[in-house]
Structure 1
């Protein structure tokens, strides 16, 4: 069964994460825990592979993770019908120079930690954001595919890939192109693993943050499922406590 082949590939990815990424995961957690205790925030920006949805406001997840999103749009409807086909869609992930503007427009501050997820790690805006954040005194943790990123050229003028622009680079242990299965009858590989790999890496970081904060004498607040009896009340109390403690 192709489904079994995919499950075997996923197991290999998770094994590689355990074998190769635990040191980096704990290093990232150390940055986040130290920042949180000192009043800093943990920001998460993802380029479209669901890591933000996986971690934020999630039952069993930490309240201290906050999303960082931005958008770029142009509203100019005149002559829209005749020109729509001729114009390319603006890809915000490939715009150079947005990093400093994002930092200036955000609520990020020196001492915070910014986690950036990008599978290929080549797109200009993610690299731009990482460089601008570090220049502003914000630590940057990248979640990327090192094999993929090492096989492609950066689209940023610096020539850096995301893993080269971050303080800590975590590998989702995927392959170049993300799709991991060669399938007879298909002309391109099938079955991406980046979502599962990145989610695993990020939850491992969360686990180490919890461990480190508890060891430092601080109790981090965790969401309870809102679908359990008493869940909404628990979460309201946790959110109130989080506003006071930042943890």
Structure 2
């Protein structure tokens, strides 16, 4: 069954991730913990997949990790008129948008910014990483190196996300990000990047927790709202986060 092919292929991606990314995760987590201990903030910006939902605000997750949420809404209730196709322009392709985000978001010199983009070649994520580097931020890419290497950067620097960040966590998915070939359809299905990126996120968070504890610091972590006394426990943890930043 296609389902079984998916199970096998997904396990292979996760096994590869564990074998190849462990050392980088330890280095990244150690640096994150040291910066948090000194008062830095930890941000994550994802260009459209699940990291900002899976990695932030979940039970068992660190309160220190906060999402940079970007919304842009255009309203113009003019009557319908035929118009030439303009194409789709996303914020990730607009020059100068990273400067706007860095200016509006609460990002200070020395902070931590994790940037998620599977392809990693569009203008905005690369520009955000390069501009954040100039602020001495720790920049961490979560991307597919194999996928990105097949693509030409849209940034004037010629860099892709894995080349623009201080560290790169490779989600180990392939070019095209699909696992199961369906000959009858002439294409493949089932992406791996969402699950592998989440795997990376929780591996990083668990290691940051471990590093902070080794430093004698107690990180603030959510418990499920359905657990006994959850409101008070989460409230106390939030107070600890607000006071110390971790």
TM > 0.5: yes
Give the corresponding residue for 2:37: 37
Give the corresponding residue for 1:165: 164
Any conservation in 2 of the 1:180–1:193 contact (CA below 8 Å)? yes
Within-5 A mapping of 1:53-92 = 53-78=53-78, 81-83=80-82, 86-92=85-91
**Cα distance, 1:63 vs. partner?**
0.5
Any conservation in 1 of the 2:10–2:179 contact (CA below 8 Å)? no
Task: Give the aligned CA root-mean-square deviation in angstroms.
Answer: 1.4
Give the corresponding residue for 2:116: 117
**Cα distance, 1:18 vs. partner?**
0.9
Tell me the TM-score normalized by structure 1: 0.95
Q: Secondary structure at the match of 1:179?
A: coil
In structure 2, the CA distance between the partners of 1:87 and 1:76, relative to structure 1 (3 Å rule), is farther
Any conservation in 2 of the 1:30–1:212 contact (CA below 8 Å)? yes
Residues 84-115 of structure 1, C-alpha deviations (whole Å, 9 max, x = no match): 67333331122122112211111111111000
Give the corresponding residue for 2:216: 217
Give the corresponding residue for 1:130: 129
Any conservation in 2 of the 1:133–1:140 contact (CA below 8 Å)? yes
CA distance in 1: counterparts of 2:161 and 2:91, whole angstroms: 16
Any conservation in 2 of the 1:222–1:238 contact (CA below 8 Å)? yes
**Cα distance, 1:217 vs. partner?**
0.8
Q: Secondary structure at the match of 1:169?
A: strand
Give the corresponding residue for 1:229: 228
**Cα distance, 1:71 vs. partner?**
2.9
CA distance in 2: counterparts of 1:66 and 1:84, whole angstroms: 40
Any conservation in 2 of the 1:100–1:133 contact (CA below 8 Å)? no
Q: Which moved more, 1:56-65 or 1:177-186?
A: 177-186
Residues 122-177 of structure 1, C-alpha deviations (whole Å, 9 max, x = no match): 11111111111111221100000010011111111211100000000010000001
CA distance in 2: counterparts of 1:78 and 1:159, whole angstroms: 40
Gaps of 5+ in 2: none
CA distance in 2: counterparts of 1:209 and 1:241, whole angstroms: 16
Alignment of 1:181 onto 2:180: yes
Any conservation in 2 of the 1:63–1:242 contact (CA below 8 Å)? yes
Name the count of aligned residue pairs. Answer: 246
In structure 2, the CA distance between the partners of 1:85 and 1:224, relative to structure 1 (3 Å rule), is farther
Q: Secondary structure at the match of 2:190?
A: strand
Residues 186-235 of structure 1, C-alpha deviations (whole Å, 9 max, x = no match): 12211100001101111111111011101111110110001222222211
In structure 2, the CA distance between the partners of 1:25 and 1:84, relative to structure 1 (3 Å rule), is farther
CA distance in 1: counterparts of 2:61 and 2:47, whole angstroms: 20
Give the corresponding residue for 1:105: 104
In structure 2, the CA distance between the partners of 1:86 and 1:242, relative to structure 1 (3 Å rule), is same
